[in-house]
Structure formats: C-alpha cells, structure tokens
Amino acid sequence: MQVILCLPDVRARDFCKKRIAELAKTDHADVVLETLSPKSPESLKGSADRFAFADLIVMGIDNTFDGISAAQILRDADIQGDIVFFTRTKSRVFEAFDVYALHYLVDGETSLAKFDEVFRRARRRSETRTQASIVLSCAGEQRKLPVSQIYYFEVINRIVTVHYVGGTFEFYSTLSKIENSLAKKGFVRIHRSYLVAERYITGVAHGEVSLATGITLPVGGRYADNIKLSQ
C-alpha cells in the first residue's frame, strides 16, 4: 500500500507518519510512506504523477494551504486514490464530498480508534483494487491497469505489449510470468505470443480468435485445447 502524507503542518505530519507506521507493523501490512510539504495547491499541478499510484492520500487544510483545492487538482488529473482529510479546520467538511473523500478527520478531536478504523478501511479498499489491477513498468514509466480493461498481451523478442482500453504499453517480461500473475483472472494463452482476456473473445474459427475490438489473433496448435476449455 502506498501512502502519501500531504500535510503542511509538521506536527500533524509527524503524528500521521508515526501512527500509520505503527498500524502497518501491528497489522503486518506492507506500507510505503511518503511525506510532502506542500506550499500551495498549484504546486501539485506539475507533480500530480507522483500521486498516480498512491492508495491513500492524507491531505491537510490550514490558513496557508487549501487542501480542498489541492484534492480537486488531483481529481482533475484523474488521481483515483482514496483521500482522507486530517485538519483542525472543521468548516470545510461538506466540501470534502465534492472531491470524493473517504473521510474527514478533525485533528485534536478524532480518537485513535477512529483514526485506526479509517486507515484500515483505506487499506482494505487498496487490497481490493490491487486484486483487480496490474502494475507494469519499463524504463521508469509505470501503468496501473484495471484487469477488466485489458484486451490481450503480445510478446515479440521479450518485449511485451499490453493492449488495453485507451492504448498500449511496452515492457520487458515473459508471457509465462504475466500468465501466472493473472491466474484465475479470466485470461487464456492462445499462442506462444498471445495471452487474451476471455471476456473479449467473440468467436473462434479457422485457427483464429476474434475479439470484440474487431481484431483477430492466431491460435497456436499446442494451445488449441486452452480455447476449447475456456468456451
């Protein structure tokens, strides 16, 4: 689980960092913590990609930093991670709904039990999202793709190309590794060069598989039984 603390107040930042680390240890959870000291909401515009793989963003609000506006900037950049506000400011609570916040915690009035409950809820949601997505990387670039949006994987000379809703992405791996990581998630090996999402298969004929996208892919002889079993 990746957590980013975007808190202008040092005391609040230190508290959250310590408490989340303690919870991760208690729960035997794999948590990666990053802390930021934002100067203004606008300062996040050029670094929104840092939040792309964050599962939880703990956002502050004070007289110098408008966390609501910062959260809106992240949402506008299609950042999907859960946002929890942690602030002494009570008056902005209803605005949190506008940025789809998971919770709004008032610093100094929220009990440890409530803080722990919200963090654990965020962690459970993170685990659910991870189960339904795959993270791919190459040369410092990453893609976190919903499994349901992947059409197929294609490999040529150890370069794997994933074809998904909205585009493609190349990375180094093997189809065997990808196949194992997606076991029981609705993918079928049809060829030594192709791993296909069963949900997008619309037909099988004449040694080819037709996909809902209109593309056809060859079926390798040794993989023909895989297709029969999946139908």
| pLDDT higher than threshold 60 for residue 229 | no
pLDDT score, position 50: 77
181 and 217 in a single domain? The answer is yes
| pLDDT higher than threshold 60 for residue 115 | yes
Average pLDDT over residues 69-93: 94
**CATH number, position 218:** 2.40.50.1020
pLDDT score, position 131: 62
The answer to whether 163 touches 136, Cβ cutoff 8 Å, is no
Average pLDDT over residues 187-207: 91
pLDDT score, position 141: 82
25 and 107 in a single domain? The answer is yes
The H or E element spanning position 67 is helix 67-76
136, 156, 178 from 175: Cα distances, Å = 13, 10, 5
Q: Closest Cα to residue 216, out of 231, 200, 230? A: 200
Q: Report which of residues 128 and 63 the model is more confident about.
A: 63
Average pLDDT over residues 11-32: 94
The answer to whether 29 touches 123, Cβ cutoff 8 Å, is yes
- What's the rounded Cα separation, in Å, for the pair 172 and 168? 14
81 and 161 in a single domain? The answer is no
110 and 174 in a single domain? The answer is no
- What's the rounded Cα separation, in Å, for the pair 103 and 115? 10
Length of the chain: 231
109 and 164 in a single domain? The answer is no
Backbone φ and ψ of 154, nearest 5°:
-130, 135
The answer to whether 56 touches 81, Cβ cutoff 8 Å, is yes
The answer to whether 107 touches 86, Cβ cutoff 8 Å, is yes
The H or E element spanning position 197 is strand 194-197
- What's the rounded Cα separation, in Å, for the pair 172 and 158? 6
How confident is the model over 34-73, as pLDDT tens digits?
998 888 999 888 777 778 778 899 999 999 999 999 999 9
97 and 154 in a single domain? The answer is no
Of 131, 151, 170, which residue constitutes the final position of a domain?
131
Of 110, 131, 152, which residue constitutes the final position of a domain?
131
Of 96, 131, 166, which residue constitutes the final position of a domain?
131
Which residues constitute the domain of residue 187? Answer: 134-230
- If pLDDT is split at 50, 70 and 90, which confidence band does 172 have? very high
pLDDT score, position 225: 85
Q: Find the radius of gyration of the CA atoms of the chain.
A: 22
Q: Which pair of structure tokens corresponds to residue 151?
A: 């059409």
**CATH number, position 86:** 3.40.50.2300
127 and 143 in a single domain? The answer is no
